[in-house]
Structure formats: structure tokens, C-alpha cells
Structure 1
């Protein structure tokens, strides 16, 4: 195989590949075995027709497309490796020559990872937050702990207020017809969380246990489902329960319940130390992020739209996974929040672009400074994972090697090492 690469514009180039006729013959053999299983020729059982009879009836050309597909799957990755390029999108392939007894020639128009021109990335002035624990910080932490240890108490004799959790059945209708994704049974909704379509939660305030109500809302004009866009909807709601948070009293008993301390004063002193440690860690992370942003601003790179699109897809998938862990999915989230998938993707566009650029810049700094992760440092990463998952480091290594992701762990460690390098040099 012979592969040549020529850049034609920005991050796009043409990969020209030539494959010898022996590999073409092998691909035709594989293609025949594939189609032989389903070839229907009178006088022969399915899967038993001889090659010569098949080609006489259908022509060898009938095998070409399958053979081309087989070769492209094998040869394209080899050509990419030989040309030392890093594609970031699917190639546009043009077959120039394919025939029995001849070499296979094709061109692939490929979008590749862009080159980064680093600006100044050392000796920059970046503000670092001072760490101070205030009384407001302490009170906020105590209130958070109260909320965490609060009990949701069923309220029978009162109506729903903002902040209450309403356990309900609901089903949505447009033009009298139920629509997909608009139904839930015994769904718990905290009023004021702004989880549902604007105007929905407010209409539940004042309802009592066992009450029914038709909640009237309107879908956005640009809603992703055309049959719902801009239309008024009626949600038939039945309230099963109303639950209200009952906060614990801040006293010595509370301290004993949530910590190893006997008094609230002792617990407060320990909390101050915990808050200080957390704020120091957050300040360091914020500083590292600010340094990366500054270094990224100083760099020049033209990012292919395909890389941004891929990042958006990752972000949407990550959101869907988080929603599923909460008993929802992306479709229900969009329906209840009154957004479209286009709205969501547009919101993610800027952040996705920034993430891609930052990652490219960090990667270039890693190369420029020759930063690498040693085997000893990789072993430390494995041991940290082993502690997290309560497995041995050897088991974790075996799993990652089997999945082909051990190099990913090394790359992630290199990113963190580079970020730390930037923080130390600015």
C-alpha cells in the first residue's frame, strides 16, 4: 500500500491511496463469501453456488462494492497512520480505480486536527482568589446540612406552597389528544425548581392532597416537535401527596447526629477548617482554569466545525446520562422545560467551542514542553482508581488494556500534568 497526503486548505487535505492487486483479489474473495450465503441460483442450494457460476450469471462487477467496503475498512486506518494525520471527521472518499486484476486507487478528502500556534503561555499575570472563611460561609454550610438532613413530611391538612414537593400523576393533551413524553405517574416535583414548562409549577400552588386540576400551558413556537410547537396544552394533574421539608434544630444533638463531635461549637470549628480546605481547592482549580483560558486566548487555531459538533454530541449524551440517573431522559426534559433540542445545542455551542480550543492548546503545550507521563506516574493513576473502585491496580490495568483505554488514562494524566505546569509557571 502507498499513501500520500497533501494539505489543500486550512485543516483539509487529500489522502491518495494505492493498494496492490493482491489485496484486491483477497477483498473480492471475502466479498464472494459474503454474497454466496444469500445467492439464489437455480440448481444450487443457497450458499453452495460455485464462484465461476456466480460470476458468469451476475458478473464479477457485482462483487465490487462489497470488496471496496471491505478494503476501505482495512486500508483507510493504515493510510492515516502512514501519513501521520489525525482525522476529526468522516472522509469524503472518491474511488478512482477498482477492477479485478488491477490496483485499487482512491482519494479521501479529510478534515484533520488543526495546528495550534501558541502565544505566550509562561510568565502571565493571572489573579488568584484569596481564601477567607466568613460567618456567611459557615451559616450557609450549616443551612445546607440542615436541608440535607431535613425530613420530607407528608402534609395532609394544608395546601401546596413553593418549596413543597408534590407527588402527582400527569398527562398532557394537545387538541384533545395525548402526546408522547407528556405522561408521568407518581412523579415528585419540587415547586419552584423550574423543572417543568414555564407556568406549570405555579398552577399547582394551593392544591391539596387528592385534588385534580387541568394545568394550561403553551409550548414555545420553535418547539422541536412540530405537532406541539406554539400550541396550547392541557395537563390533567392528580395530586397524591404534598411533602414539606422539616429542618432539624441546630443544637448539640444535631452535631452528634451529623459528626463525631459532642457539641455544636466543636462541630462549627471543624466545619470552618473543612470550608477553608474546600475553598483553597476551589481557588486552585479556578486559578488553573483562568490560566488555561489566558493561554488559550493567546493562541491561534482554526477549529473545524466537526470537532465542535462532536463535543456538542458528547455534552448532550452526558446530560442524557445524568437525567437518566434521576429517572428522566432528554426527551422528557425538553418537553417539560419547554425547550427544543436546537435550543439546547445552541446553548452548548459556545462552551463546546471553548472546550475544544482549550484541549487543543493544552495538547500543544504538552508537546512544546515535552511533558510525558512515566510508567511510575501511570501506576499511581491506576492505584488511585483501584482505591476508588476497591479493586487491585493490576485488575484495573487488565480491564483498561482489554478495553483499549489504558492510553486514554495516560493522556488524561498528561493533561492534568500540563495544567499543573501552566499553573506553576504563571
Structure 2
């Protein structure tokens, strides 16, 4: 195979490829053999169909296409390697006139990934706030511990109130041309009257009700609902309240404190001290993450990359498809209905999607350039460490996660990419300057210094 560059621009290149006549003939003969074994022609055994018969039955074009389907990918792989190209998308290929016994001429039009120009990383500065643990943070942490160990007790002698959980049987119906139609029925469903996502009409209907009573709520379905048979109609929800459950927060007793601290603390002061240290550690971790995010934002701001409109168009289509799927899955709405709800025109949405696409592409190209600058390599040890970390965070067995990743080539590539980018950002953080914002003494709580030092002032 011979190749030469025909033309080249900033982010595209055309390359002419010549396949030797003997190689093309071999590919055609292989196609004849394959096709002879795969089709049925009356009067001929599979694998023994003469070429002339195949040409009459299928046409020469089918035979040539089968041969080209194997020749073109190999030729593309070879020129990508020879010219060290990074493609932005699948190339187009122009096949010149085919004449057996003569070389096969192809011309590839390739769109290249643009190169991002990075700033001097040592010029990047990020500022973070020192961790400040306030009394209010400790108070909230204590309340969260109490909420985690809440007791749910049946209520007797009073109606339901905000914060209670009611256990109900319910039926939802809608009226159409045939009368009342049941949409859904369920028993022993728990509804938290304090939950922010509970529909206001349902909450109002279930408040101030006693066990054994009934309640009705009417909900109007959105016009853009995916089920046109109920869109814009009123759904009637009929509830039978079986029981009411009240949440009871535990007292801050010595027994409770010992329970939540694994026996390490026994009084409120010890608990507060332990929580201050824990919160300070969490804030420090948050600061490290914030510093990484700020460094990345600064890197993106100072980097330059000229992204072709065609790349942005393709990425925008991918994002739009994801939006449509997410809206249909989560809201049971069409994109058009969702845009109307958000007071967005189609033109405004298209502009926003293109902005998202451009931002996503710039980030990917800049991070790729950063990984090259850092000369990042992903070792088997890196993969083992990543799998162990993710398995721990997801509560999954390491070997099970490893097996799942190794079976899925795309997932495995994503893991490699994630590790590569993590290491690239680690390199970025080793180069940038991190400054701590000046602390405002007036804003520091009486307990803050304890959290940072891990010591009690006594």
C-alpha cells in the first residue's frame, strides 16, 4: 500500500491511498469465497458457486463492496498510524474507478481533532477559603445523627400532621368517554407528609386525617404528558388511611452518644469534639476538590482551541438526544412541552445546547492536551487501585466489578480515560499555586480552633 497527502488544512487532511492490484484481487477472491458460502442459489452447493453465477445473481457491485468493507478499515488504520493522526470523526472515503488487474485508488477525507494550546501551568493561581467549623455546623451534625436514628411509632388519638408518615391504600381514576377508568391501585404505601416532593394537593388531602378515614385529591395532568389519553385531564386520587406513624428523635443520652460513636465518646462535649474534627476533615477534603475545580476552570479559561463547527454540531446532537431521553424518562414529557414549561423557544434551546457542546468539547480537548503534556501512562496498578476505590464507594465486591469492566470493552476504555484524566489533573495540581484566603477572625466560632487542631480548649 502506498499513500500520499493530497491536501491539508488546519483541522483536515486528504490522503490518497493506492492498494496494489494483487492485494485487491486477493480481497475480491476472498469475498467470492465468503459470499459463495453464505447464499443459496438453486442448483449449486454452498461454497461451490462459480464467480460468474455470483456476479449474475448479486452483481459485481456487491462483491466489490464486500471486498472494500475489509480493505478500507485496514487502509484507514494504516494511514492513521503512518501519519500519527487523531481523528475527530469517521472519515469519508472516495473509491475511484475499480478495474481488476490494476491498483485500487482510494482518497480519504479526514477531519482531525484540533490541538489545544495550554498556558504555562505555573502561572495559574487558585484561592481557597480555610476550613471554618462553626457551632451551627456541629449542631446540625448532631441533629443529623438524631434523624439517622429516628424511631417511627404508631399514632393513636390524634389526626395526622406535617412530618408524619401515613400508610394508605389508594386508587387513581380518570373520567373519559367510557366513564371512570382506573389508572393505578396500590396497598400499604407509605407517604411522608413532610417530604418536599410530595404533591401539595395530596399532602393537603392527607393532613388532619385519622386512621380509618378516607381522603380525596384531584390532580391535573400536564398538557405535554407522554400519555395523550390523560394529558390535560383530572386524575382523582382516593385514599384509605390505614395508620399514622410519628417520627420520634432520640434523646442525647449517654447511651445514644456511645452508640453513635462506637463507644469512643460518652457525653455531649466528647461528641461535639469528635464532630468538630470530622467536619474539619470534610471541609479540608471539600477544599481540595474546590481547588481542583478552580484550577480546571482557570486552565480552560486560559487555554485556546479552535473547534470546527462540524464537531460542535455532532456533539450538540448527542446532547439533544440525551435531553430528550431524560425528559421522557423523568417527566414523561416531550421536549417541546418541556421547553414551553421552561418558557424557552426552540431557537433559545438550540443555542444553549451548542454552548454546552462547545464547552464539553473544549474541556475534553484541553484535558487531552494536559494528559499529553504530563506524559500520563495508565498501569495495571492504577486500574487495580481505581477498581478497589470505586468498589468500596459503591459497596460492590472488587472481583465482581473487575469482571464487569473486563467484559465490557467500552466500559474498560472509559475506566482508562477516567484514570488518565485523574492523573492529568494531579499533574496540574502539582504545577499550580494554591493560596489560602485571609481568614476573618470575627467569623471564626468558639469551637473552630478545636476542629482545626483536634484539641479541646478545655
- CA distance 1:7–1:175, change in 2 (3 Å): farther
Q: Partner residue of 2:429?
A: 420
2:67 aligned with 1:60 = no
Alignment match of 1:298 (pick from 297, 302, 312): 302
Match of 2:228, SS state, is: coil
Residue 361 of structure 1: which of 358, 366, 370 is its match? 366
Q: CA RMSD in A?
A: 4.7
Distance in 1 separating the partners of 2:425 and 2:302? 20
The equivalent residue for 1:118 is 118
Alignment of 1:14-413 (within 5 A): 14-45=14-45, 49-153=49-153, 158-159=159-160, 161=162, 164=165, 190=192, 195=197, 202=203, 205-206=206-207, 211=214, 213=216, 215-219=218-222, 221=224, 225=226, 227=228, 231-232=232-233, 234=235, 236=237, 238=239, 244-260=246-262, 261-303=265-307, 304-305=311-312, 308-309=315-316, 312=319, 331-335=328-332, 353-368=358-373, 370-373=374-377, 379=381, 382-383=384-385, 385-386=387-388, 389=391, 403=409, 405=413, 407-408=416-417, 411-413=420-422
Cα deviation, residue 287, structure 1: 1.5
**CA separation in 1, counterparts of 2:25 and 2:233?**
63
Measure the CA separation in 1 of the matches of 2:128 and 2:284.
10
Contact 1:175 1:233 in 2 (8 A): no
Tell me: higher relative CO, structure 1 or 2? Use CA pairs within 8 A at least 6 residues apart.
Answer: 2
Shift of 1:294: 1.3
Say if 1:288 and 1:413 are closer, same or farther in 2 by CA, change over 3 A: closer
| Contact kept? 2:116, 2:303, Cα under 8 Å | yes
Task: Count matched residues.
Answer: 406
Q: Distance in 2 between matches of 1:399 and 1:49?
A: 44
Does the aligned pair in 2 maintain the 1:174–1:231 contact within 8 Å? no
Q: What are structure 1's unaligned runs of at least 5 residues?
A: 321-329
Contact 1:115 1:301 in 2 (8 A): yes
Task: Give the TM-score normalised by structure 1.
Answer: 0.73
Q: Distance in 2 between matches of 1:132 and 1:237?
A: 50
Q: Deviations over 1:182-206 (max 9, x none)?
A: 868566665565658x766556543
CA contact (8 A) 1:138 1:271 kept: yes
State the Cα distance separating 1:237 from its structure 2 match: 5.6
In structure 2, stretches of 5+ residues that fail to align are: 436-458
Q: CA deviation at 1:115?
A: 1.7
Paired with 1:152 and 1:348, the residues of 2 have a C-alpha distance of 46
SS at match of 2:255: helix
Q: 1:202/1:396 Cα in 2 relative to 1: closer, same or farther (>3 Å)?
A: closer
Structure 2 distance, partners of 1:77, 1:258, is 60
CA distance in 2, matches of 1:339, 1:205: 34
The alpha-carbon distance between structure 1 residues 341 and 349, as it changes in their structure 2 partners (threshold 3 A), is farther
Cα distance between partner residues in 1 of 2:372 and 2:98:
40
SS in 1 for 2:368: helix
Contact 1:381–1:413 (8 Å) recurs in 2: no
The offset of 1:116, in angstroms, is: 1.2
Distance 1:171 1:9, change over 3 A: farther
Tell whether the 8 Å contact from 2:292 to 2:425 is kept in structure 1 after alignment. Answer: no
Check conservation: 2:163, 2:246, Cα contact below 8 A: no
* Partner-residue secondary structure (3-state), 1:126: strand
Structure of higher CA gyration radius: 2
Change (3 A) 1:367 1:62: closer
Measured in 1, the distance between the counterparts of 2:338 and 2:95 equals 37
Q: After alignment, is 413-422 or 210-219 more displaced? A: 210-219
Pair 1:134–1:348, CA change in 2 (3 A): farther
